[in-house]
Amino acid sequence: MRVVIVDDEPLARHGVVVRLAGQTDIEIVGEFEDGASALDGIVRLAPDLAFVDVQMPGMSGLELLSVLSSAERPMAILLTAHDSFAIRAFELHAIDYLLKPVDDDRFMESLDRARQALPYRRKVASSMDSFLNREDAGWLERFTVRIGTRVLLVESRDVDWIEADGDYAVLHVGDESHLLREPLRKLASRLDPAQFVRVHRSAIVRIDRVAEMKALVNRDVLLRLRNGVPLRASRTYVDGLYEALRVRGDRQ
């Protein structure tokens, strides 16, 4: 994993370097002392992960990340003396944020989160490229729902979210719910990853229905859909959700 470090304090940069020493899967490709030089460096070096100080003279760490396009923006772990930046960090799809002085255990925990997210980041990006370059990706465009002797066709674009119900799945379409005779785990593999993302072992949401996200203290995220429905995204799936949102934003 290619890493850059952005911090105006030499000791702080050195602290990150020391903590990364001995990590055989990590390559530090750049160090920057201000946002302006980091901006050029990140675009040029295309790192996988950036440790970014939030408060720097001139361009702040948050401004740096917001200026980068979705395609250019690496995974980020923010370094800050205050936790008031947490919500903005999640808006910018930061993997984590670390409070200064940095605790060694929390540092390694953040690094592990980046390791876990990296394969998914690459997989989703690859899936999006494949989808865009194929005339027919074979994803489900409509669901067949049996209601007694009737068969109801539900367009995938109309589905807000999907909930597991034992060996079945429940399609939530506005104020209506439809029981689909297929387990969620199987259904997930047939859904277009450009449109749907799993946020919990028992829930899948349509990406464009997400209206608001709120980070929780246990690293879960509370979602609010455009129709007002609240859903909880578990920390296991949060990185995938952020990456799906990032890729979607880059494609628009």
Spans of all domains in the chain: 2-102, 142-251
pLDDT, greater one: 59 or 123: 59
pLDDT over 90 percentage in the chain: 50
Dihedral angle sign, alpha carbons of residues 220, 227, 88, 27: positive
Mean pLDDT lowest among 5-19, 36-50, 74-88, 142-156: 74-88
pLDDT over 90 (residue 122): no
What architecture is domain 2-102?
3-Layer(aba) Sandwich (3.40)
Q: How far apart are CA 21 and CA 247, in angstroms?
A: 31
What is the pLDDT confidence band of residue 85, given thresholds at 50, 70 and 90? low
pLDDT over 50 (residue 134): no
Cα radius of gyration rounded to whole Å, the chain: 20
What CATH code is assigned to 142-251?
A: 2.40.50.1020
Dihedral angle sign, alpha carbons of residues 33, 35, 37, 39: positive
Q: pTM of this prediction? A: 0.55
